[in-house]
């Protein structure tokens, strides 16, 4: 999955070549790459992508896309870049407090009725906002950060999803790599790595938070698994409708992540994990303040 994230199947309504250019600019290059990579497999895969960012002619994000006409233009741009006729799952990347969520959901509902979108998703939305959107256009999936070291969705969002029959898709299920045990206070990040801006990844915070990794690693050793696999298996054990999306650039890591689905955590294992996690007070915010303000709206 990628920020105009991909992973739904195409339908037969309309032709991508007939879609007019999007005034929101060329959009993220990843949609073009995904469209090209998946072109031999059309009809065999499911494609999910996101909308909410306005791009300039160089593909740089310039603001939010939330007005109904912008939502339509963004969808048509995604269809064109991906080379498909239908977006199977269309996520609102972030809630825009300046635009009523009912208007945004209504714009997606129009796209659904036209066959350009199959399902509506939301990301990092608060429970009340999810309910309001769902009343206009049923929400199929909610994507938000959720892991052993970030559990805010447990406060309200998970219960709302269960009540309304909405799937939940945790991103950063491995804590942006930290829960794999491959990162410590000495790890150097590239200048363009978002973790350089995240308080939770400051050297002092990493030093303090490593206590969590040590506890997960000990449990993993007893299960014949890696700490990352335990972190993923824990998420999979929470609810059958929770499906994490770990990211990776390496085949061996992909294989490791997939193998987590074969790990069975007993109730005793889950209790042990909860008890271990409860002893660690995680240090540092998960986002800089300006990014955190854009979530849970």
pLDDT of 10 higher than 70:
no
111 and 117 Cβ atoms separated by less than 8 Å: yes
Domain ranges of the chain: 1-145, 175-241+253-297
Mean pLDDT of 123-132: 98
pLDDT of 43 higher than 90:
no
Q: Which of the four pLDDT bands, split at 50, 70 and 90, describes residue 246?
A: very high
Quickly name the fold that domain 1-145 has: TIM Barrel (3.20.20)
The mean pLDDT of the chain is: 89
Q: Which of the four pLDDT bands, split at 50, 70 and 90, describes residue 27?
A: low
Q: Decide which of 248 and 118 is more confident.
A: 118
216 and 273 Cβ atoms separated by less than 8 Å: yes
pLDDT of 231 higher than 90:
yes
Alpha-carbon separation of residue 71 from 66, 90, 111, 146 (angstroms): 6, 10, 9, 27
Where in the chain does DSSP place strands (E)? 48-51, 53-55, 61-64, 87-92, 117-123, 139-145, 167-171
- Bridge-based pairing of strands 139-145 and 167-171 is parallel
46 and 8 Cβ atoms separated by less than 8 Å: yes
Mean pLDDT of 104-119: 98
pTM of the entire predicted model: 0.87
Q: What is the dihedral of CA 281, 284, 285, 289, to 10 degrees?
A: 150
């Amino acid at each position: 999955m990628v920020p105009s994230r991909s992973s739904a199947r195409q339908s037969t309504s309309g032709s991508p070549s007939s879609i007019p250019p999007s005034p929101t600019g060329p959009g993220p290059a990843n949609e073009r790459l995904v469209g090209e990579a998946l072109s031999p497999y059309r009809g065999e895969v499911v494609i999910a992508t996101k909308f909410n960012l306005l791009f300039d002619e160089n593909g740089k994000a310039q603001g939010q896309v939330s007005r109904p006409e912008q939502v339509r233009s963004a969808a048509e741009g995604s269809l064109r870049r991906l080379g498909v006729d239908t977006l199977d799952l269309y996520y609102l990347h972030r809630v825009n407090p300046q635009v009523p969520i009912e208007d945004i959901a209504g714009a997606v509902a129009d796209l659904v009725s036209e066959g350009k979108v199959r399902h509506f998703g939301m990301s990092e939305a608060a429970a009340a906002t999810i309910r309001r959107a769902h009343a206009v256009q049923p929400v199929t999936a909610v994507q938000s950060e959720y892991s052993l070291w970030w559990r805010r969705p447990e406060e309200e969002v998970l219960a709302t999803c269960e009540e309304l029959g909405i799937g939940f898709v945790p991103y950063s299920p491995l804590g942006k790599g930290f829960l794999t045990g491959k990162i410590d206070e000495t790890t150097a990040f590239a200048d363009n790595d978002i973790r350089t801006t995240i308080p939770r990844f400051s050297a002092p915070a990493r030093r303090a938070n490593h206590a969590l990794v040590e506890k997960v690693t000990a449990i993993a050793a007893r299960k014949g698994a890696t700490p990352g696999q335990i972190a993923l298996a824990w998420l999979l054990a929470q609810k059958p409708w929770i499906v994490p999306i770990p990211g990776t650039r390496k085949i061996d890591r992909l294989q490791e992540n997939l193998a987590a689905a074969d790990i069975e955590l007993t109730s005793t294992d889950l209790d042990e994990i909860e008890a271990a996690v409860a002893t660690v007070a995680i240090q540092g915010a998960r986002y800089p303040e300006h990014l955190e303000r854009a979530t849970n709206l």
